[in-house]
A and B are shown apart, each in its own frame.
Chain A
Amino acid sequence: EAQVTQNPRYLITVTGKKLTVTCSQNMNHEYMSWYRQDPGLGLRQIYYSMNVEVTDKGDVPEGYKVSRKEKRNFPLILESPSPNQTSLYFCASSLRQTGGPSPLHFGNGTRLTVT
């Protein structure tokens, strides 16, 4: 089944303790992206990747890191989480194609709480 898999679904941590949220897709998509969703703000892009070893900042990259060593994986790293990073996180992927963007496939989300 074609899917984007995020883990964990729920995570509670403390300020300053490094964590990684994993994201994997099995559709051979070139494009992958991370979003955070906050009440009243919608979804905002954190980082994106156009292909292996190619990553770039989105609208709200501060406090986050990403890597794209393999095409299928795009982990989100919080080196020193802070309470303002408490949010719902989504990983998404899509094919890159001529003629416009193909629809994003989203993972099921990771609810992160930083105390």
Chain B
Amino acid sequence: AQTVTQSQPEMSVQEAETVTLSCTYDTSENNYYLFWYKQPPSRQMILVIRQEAYKQQNATENRFSVNFQKAAKSFSLKISDSQLGDTAMYFCAFSSTQGGSEKLVFGKGTKLTVNP
């Protein structure tokens, strides 16, 4: 069974600085997908970024980028120029379509606080 581990329950960063959130996963599959979701205090789950395992190039979305190390099974999220609105819970998630369920397996989350 796949597992996703986020080793940092809480982190903080100063506004405008850069922060990296860690995520490791365990799987025996070769093709899969990785996601970072953001959950602000409003509770809404918002997709931040997505990475396909067969793509070597790291995904980037504006100030958000990932460092995907397939051999190490690592998928960290870098937030550049942090903003107060980035304060949220961040969840790393894994998905494959083996069995066709499109199931997401989530990590336990990292609570990020951006300080003014």
Contacts and interface: CB of A to CB of B under 8 A. Distances in A.
Interface of A: 31, 33, 35, 40-45, 48, 50, 56, 58, 88, 90, 92, 94, 96, 100-101, 103-104, 106, 108-109, 111
B104 to A, nearest CB: 6
A103 B47 contact: yes
A42 B103 CA distance: 14
Contacts of A50: 100-101
Interface in B42-77: 42-45, 47, 50, 52
Chain A: interface secondary structure? strand
A63 B22 CA distance: 34
A9 to B, nearest CB: 9
Contacts of A48: 101-103
Interface in B88-115: 91, 95, 97, 100-104, 106-109
A33 B52 CA distance: 22
A94 B100 CA distance: 12
Contacts of B108: 40-42
A43 B107 CA distance: 8
Question: What 3 A-B pairs have minimum CB-CB distances, sorted nearest first?
Answer: A106-B45, A42-B106, A101-B102
Contacts of B43: 88, 108-109, 111
B35 interface: yes
B106 A43 contact: yes
A88 B106 CA distance: 15
Nearest to B95: A101
Contacts of B52: 100
B109 A42 contact: yes
Contacts of A109: 43-45
18 contacts: A35-B106, A40-B108, A42-B106, A42-B109, A43-B106, A44-B106, A45-B103, A48-B102, A88-B43, A90-B45, A92-B45, A96-B100, A100-B97, A101-B97, A104-B45, A104-B47, A104-B102, A108-B43
